[in-house]
Amino acid sequence: MKIICKKTDIINGVNISLRAVQSKTTMPILDCIVIRANGNNIKFITNDMEIAIETVVPGNIINEGSIAINAKLFSDIVRKLPDSDITIETNNYYMTTITCEKLEFSLVSKNDEEFPDLPTVEKKEALVISQFSLKEILRQTVFCISDNESQKVMTGELFEINGNKLRVVALDGHRIAIRNLELKNEYKPTKVIIPGKTLNEISKILSGEVDNDVAIYFTNTHVMFEFENTIVLSRLIEGEYYKINQMLSGDYETKIKINRREFADSIDRSTLLVKETDKKPIILDIKDFNMNLKVNTQIGAMNQDIEINKEGKDILIGFNPKFMLEILRVIDDEDINIYMTNSKAPAFIKNNEENYIYLVLPINFNAVR
């Protein structure tokens, strides 16, 4: 194989490819990027057995061929090369030579035949949404995914399509995050659970442009994201997702409107007094047009008043500060609405259009105080 590419193109390709390379793997070949030059295409291929990525890198093919080269080393070397044309050439002994201006690296590489094949996903009906929308949806939901591997379904997100509606759901036993999106086209009903890890990596690769689309293909076992020069393949999580509709009934006793930033900053400060291990709640005392926030720990106490708008009853309610803060940080609205019933029932944070709905369980602060 002999190819010539621009440094910037290789770096773009490498940055995408690295998302499917695990630093610790029991199969040494998975440390590698496979570079495959065939026909008109130079492809970088990586696979960590959960996610596989294939991205096309612009360049000239002098000789066809392929090689598997240590991903981290290749990445580090290319980054430190002059900003110029880079020639990558292999010989019969799996040595790769990287040449740039008056500089030459020779690296011990591997036969790519050991590299596992990527699963095949037939391109039938594609769900098409903008990179911007997908990236936003993921940012606003993935933090609610549980990392509890014993409940596998919780480690992924439900993507549910009905007609022209997409609903994305993540939950961790304390919170539920829901994003609703209207699609341009009608689709046949689909319900899949995509692993959280896949979604985290996807959101790092997506450029997030409004004008660039992502096509998403589903099979019974796999999902494929296709955008620009890249495809990302992942298995799906098997199993039945939680029925959440019954948890979303509409009654409430108290509705408040509060400045999101002010509320978030106050909770953020309070966490300085809370050690990871103790489960101290932040207690909200809502009376008339005031919310008093209180935290009391061995280290010290915090106390702050914030002006609010309120409809309905006064309420005293406690939350896990970290859980609440994560939600407040991903919402873009200046003011948010919080709907509460009593100090033991879940609270809802949502906008009027219900583009986003967050459910948070309160903490019984009498027990922990």
Q: Which residues are paired to 128 by β-bridges? A: 215
Shortest reach from residue 194's CB to its own copies, in Å: 36
- Residues 357 and 350: their CA atoms lie apart, in Å, by 5
Pairwise CA distance, residues 334 & 250, whole Å:
23
Least spacing, CB of residue 351 vs its own copies, in Å: 27
Longest dimension (CA), the chain: 79
What are phi and psi for residue 351, nearest 5 degrees? -95, 170
Q: Tell me the closest approach of the beta carbon of residue 2 to its own copies, in angstroms.
A: 18
Terminal Cα-to-Cα distance of the chain (whole angstroms): 68
- Identify the residue whose tokens are 């029925």: 243
Q: Which is closer to its own copies, CB of 39 or CB of 300? A: 300
CB of 304 to its own copies, least distance (A): 4
Nearer to its own copies, 56 or 73 (CB): 73
CB of 169 to its own copies, least distance (A): 33
Nearest approach, Cβ of residue 302 and its own copies (Å): 5
Min dist CB 118 to its own copies, Å, is 28
Query: For residues 307 and 332, which CB has a smaller minimum distance to its own copies in the complex?
Result: 307
Cβ distance to its own copies smaller for residue 160 or 265: 265
Q: Dihedral (C-alpha) 328, 332, 333, 335: value to the nearest 10 degrees?
A: 30
Residue 214, token pair as written in the block: 């992502």
- Which among 315, 285, 324, 282 has a CA at the least distance from the CA of 301? 282
DSSP code string of 237-258: PPSPPP--GGGG----SEEEEE
CB of 11 within 8 A of CB of 79? yes
Per-residue DSSP letters for 9-67? HHHHHHHHHGGG--SS-SSGGGGEEEEEEETTEEEEEEE-SSEEEEEE---EEEE-EEE
CB of residue 99 to its own copies, shortest distance in Å:
10
- Cβ of residue 293: shortest distance to its own copies, in angstroms? 9
H/E segment holding residue 135: helix 131-139
Q: Tokens representing 160?
A: 């549910």
Distance CA 32, CA 68 (A): 6
* Residue placing its CB nearer to its own copies in the complex, 74 or 218: 74
- The CA distance from 292 to 120, in Å, is 56
Residues at the contact surface with its own copies, assessed by CB under 8 A = 73, 76-77, 80-82, 102-108, 265-266, 268-269, 272-273, 298-306
Q: In the complex with its own copies, which residue's Cβ is closer, 297 or 355?
A: 297
Which residue, 232 or 302, has its beta carbon nearer to its own copies? 302
Residue 174 or 269 with smaller CB distance to its own copies: 269
Closer to its own copies by CB, 272 or 368: give it. 272
